[in-house]
């Protein structure tokens, strides 16, 4: 596997794991494990950034004249990237709300 397929799978793997960590962070906050929630959010963000960098490489390649052919796998990777970004934002909000409800903020 190489090229667009490899990059697509790198994106999917990184941001899929990030999204799972964001969900786990919400669950940890709900159980009042706020330190664990913060760690999960941080680790999730690191993985999200890895996926974002892989995607940015594709954009940079295209800006340099390399045409990227349409691929359903890449479209799926981009969808997962956007989904993970939204989950990250919402997870942070949920953790903050749970902290506030428990008087830890």
Residues annotated as part of the active site: 76
Residue 75 CB partners (closer than 8 Å, separation 6+): none
> Is 96 annotated among the ligand-binding residues?
no
Residue ranges of the binding site for Mg(2+): 79
Residue ranges of the binding site: 79
């Amino acid at each position: 596997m190489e090229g667009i397929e490899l990059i697509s799978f790198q994106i999917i793997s990184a941001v899929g794991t990030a999204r799972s960590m964001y969900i786990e962070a919400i669950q940890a906050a709900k159980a009042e494990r706020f330190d664990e929630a913060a760690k999960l959010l941080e680790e999730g963000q690191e993985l999200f950034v890895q996926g974002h960098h892989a995607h940015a490489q594709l954009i940079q390649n295209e800006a340099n004249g390399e045409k990227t052919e349409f691929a359903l796998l890449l479209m799926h990777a981009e969808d997962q990237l956007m989904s993970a970004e939204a989950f990250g934002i919402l997870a942070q909000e949920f953790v903050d709300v749970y902290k506030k409800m428990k008087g830890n903020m």
